[in-house]
Amino acid sequence: MVKAVFLDRDGVINLDKAYVHRWDDFEFLPGAVEAMRQLHLAGYILIVVTNQAGIARGYYTERQFEILTEAMIEHLAAAGVVITAVYHCPHHPAGTVPLLSVACDCRKPAPGMLLAAAREHGVDLEQSILVGDKASDLEAARAAGVGTAYLVQSDPACLASAEGLSDGAFKGLADCARHILTRSRAINFSQTQEVLR
């Protein structure tokens, strides 16, 4: 079993400009790429879990999403970041594309994407972490049994809605990753001390 950091995309990895679907419009948030690289080097696998209601709403196609995702993965790989998988939900009950305008078990706050990722990649959910920018991200984490869930880039209203769901709130992924890595080193040191006793 492996430990994962599950990452929401818009608002965590890249600037949320509403329905980003072209690489030319994709802008990494400050420090996000290096944060992901450090998490990867620390032994976490990185899995992106993103709601993409714009597909159901007809704003862009699944293929356009895939093209952007491929460009993102290639850019990150060149920077030393390995993305193990990207899961997306193309559904929305109020969409305009009939086949996708449905209630589903994958759109966060439902846990479907997290559970599928855990099953397909041998993830230990209890030892894993989710980083999101909305209460729905954290609700999905709790429903799936993810051990730790953090909130980033959130306004006061979002912080209030996520009360009781979050294990910590941070300015961005860079600050959150520093906390994760410091906590991980402290736990590893404590475990080593126990072995030596």
Q: Measuring CA to CA, how many Å separate 92 from each of 58, 97, 100, 102, 161?
A: 11, 9, 7, 6, 21
Owner of token pair 């329905």:
19
25 is catalytic: no
124 is catalytic: no
| Torsion angle in degrees (nearest 10) through CA of 68, 85, 43, 125 | 130
Catalytic choice (10, 105, 124, 167)? 10
Please report the DSSP string for 39-57 in residue order. Answer: HHHTT-EEEEEEE-HHHHT
Owner of token pair 């809605």:
161
Whole-number Å distance between alpha carbons of 36 and 90 = 25
- The edge-to-edge listing of strands for the beta sheet with 129-132 is 83-89, 45-51, 4-7, 129-132, 148-152, 169-170
Catalytic choice (8, 25, 105, 133)? 8
Whole-number Å distance between alpha carbons of 186 and 180 = 10
Q: How many CA atoms lie within 13 A of 84 on its CB side?
A: 20
Residues classed as catalytic: 8, 10
